[in-house]
């Protein structure tokens, strides 16, 4: 099998990621690891070269376009295995990760299999711990099963780090390189539309290190929202209702604010909506099952709105850009981290 690791400037995480992959319980003589690097300039390439020099299973490939979908397509074209797994550099994988996914792939006949992720803080700061909690909390991410977990095998709309049969790419094509974000969701929709199945299995979990700062999280979710309308235009529909909620919430607030000078009831409705959201936000922060402490819970109450408003504003801006304006060149991908 072939493992593809898209990466750019992941010096802090790449060693732990590669160590965890190489320590897999999957047979060592049946695996290759392709690290597809997008011109890293922080020392990541040197670290990967060191691994490749001492470990014949590891190869370093260049990704001149510096985007995740381009990296995945480069890896798929270079892959020698009949099974292909995407494994991001911001993640540590348990030894049973690959054996479990491959077994489920072969037993169930699914076309793409993934597992839930356990979200860990990037450091010990209150902000980092709150971010990790928010990204695995239903109030933060809705019913995204791979983030909040599952107790049973279930068919889903997407998984984070898929394990595929190689023939899937011959059947439905490669990843869409215009989608700097959300390319896995569009691919999985295309797969399902062509009769394929995407399966989430609970038997193993990967450890994902969340972003460290509030700014990075807000930016990341703005980018997720920005590309969602483009995905919708490409597939011809909205893939899940949860994707509409942040944009609808932000649009409603903006509409009420604009109507305030003309409609007497608008200010009261605006205050009531904001008060309801604030109450739900505080309740979620105070009741979260996490050892955050008082400061951490205060940070969590801030992280939730950053996710929701960032995603909502990104979705509205993306809709104006992708759906209402003429097609323009894709934004420069090197400003977007390759990992989630």
Contact criterion met (CB below 8 Å) for 266 and 256:
yes
Q: What is the pLDDT of residues 179-205, one digit of tens each?
A: 988 899 999 999 999 999 999 999 999
At 181 the pLDDT is 87
Q: What is the pLDDT of residues 254-264, one digit of tens each?
A: 999 999 999 99
In a domain, 239, yes or no: yes
**What is the DSSP code string of 8-46?**
SS-TTTHHHHHHHHHT-SS-GGG-EEEEEE----SSHHH
At 334 the pLDDT is 43
Residue 191 has phi, psi (to 5 degrees) of: -65, -45
Secondary structure class of 81 (helix, strand, coil): coil
Angstrom distance (rounded) from CA 176 to CA 234: 10
Contact criterion met (CB below 8 Å) for 226 and 314:
yes
In a domain, 340, yes or no: no
At 98 the pLDDT is 97
At 197 the pLDDT is 95
Q: Whole-model pTM?
A: 0.88
In a domain, 86, yes or no: no
At 325 the pLDDT is 66
Q: What is the pLDDT of residues 104-135, one digit of tens each?
A: 999 999 999 999 999 999 999 999 999 999 99
In a domain, 274, yes or no: yes
Q: What is the pLDDT of residues 304-333, one digit of tens each?
A: 999 999 999 999 999 998 877 655 544 444
At 337 the pLDDT is 53
In a domain, 327, yes or no: yes
Range of the domain at 269: 232-335
Task: Count up the domains in the chain and report the number.
Answer: 1
Residues lower than pLDDT 50 in the chain: 329-335
In a domain, 249, yes or no: yes
In a domain, 263, yes or no: yes
In a domain, 36, yes or no: no
């Amino acid at each position: 099998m072939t493992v593809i690791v898209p990466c750019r400037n992941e010096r802090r995480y790449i060693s732990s990621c590669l160590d965890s992959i190489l320590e897999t319980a999957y047979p060592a003589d049946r695996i290759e690891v392709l690290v597809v690097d997008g011109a890293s300039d922080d020392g990541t390439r040197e670290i990967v070269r060191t691994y490749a020099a001492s470990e014949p299973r590891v190869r370093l490939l260049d990704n001149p376009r510096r985007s995740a979908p381009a990296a995945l397509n480069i890896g798929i074209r270079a892959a020698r295995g009949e099974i292909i797994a995407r494994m991001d550099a911001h993640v540590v994988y348990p030894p049973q990760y690959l054996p479990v996914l491959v077994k489920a792939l072969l037993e169930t006949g699914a076309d793409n299999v993934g597992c839930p992720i356990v979200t860990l803080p990037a450091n010990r700061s209150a902000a980092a711990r709150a971010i990790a909690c928010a990204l695995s909390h239903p109030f933060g991410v809705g019913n995204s099963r791979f983030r909040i977990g599952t107790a049973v095998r279930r068919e889903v709309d997407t998984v984070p780090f898929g394990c595929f049969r190689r023939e899937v790419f011959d059947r439905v094509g490669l990843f869409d390189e215009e989608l700097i974000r959300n390319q896995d969701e569009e691919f999985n929709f295309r797969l399902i539309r062509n009769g394929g199945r995407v399966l989430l299995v609970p038997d193993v979990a990967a450890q994902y290190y969340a972003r460290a700062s509030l700014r990075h999280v807000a930016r990341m979710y703005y980018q997720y929202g920005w590309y969602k309308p483009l995905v919708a235009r490409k597939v011809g529909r909205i893939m899940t209702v949860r994707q509409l909620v942040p944009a609808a919430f932000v649009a409603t607030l903006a509409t009420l604010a604009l109507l305030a000078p003309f409609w007497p009831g608008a200010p009261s409705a605006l205050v009531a909506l904001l008060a309801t959201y604030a109450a739900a936000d505080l309740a979620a922060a105070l009741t979260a099952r996490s050892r955050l402490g008082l400061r951490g819970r205060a940070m969590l109450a801030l992280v939730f709105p950053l996710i929701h408003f960032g995603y909502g504003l990104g979705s509205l801006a993306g809709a104006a850009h992708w759906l209402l304006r003429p097609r323009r060149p894709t934004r420069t991908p090197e400003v977007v981290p390759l990992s989630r």
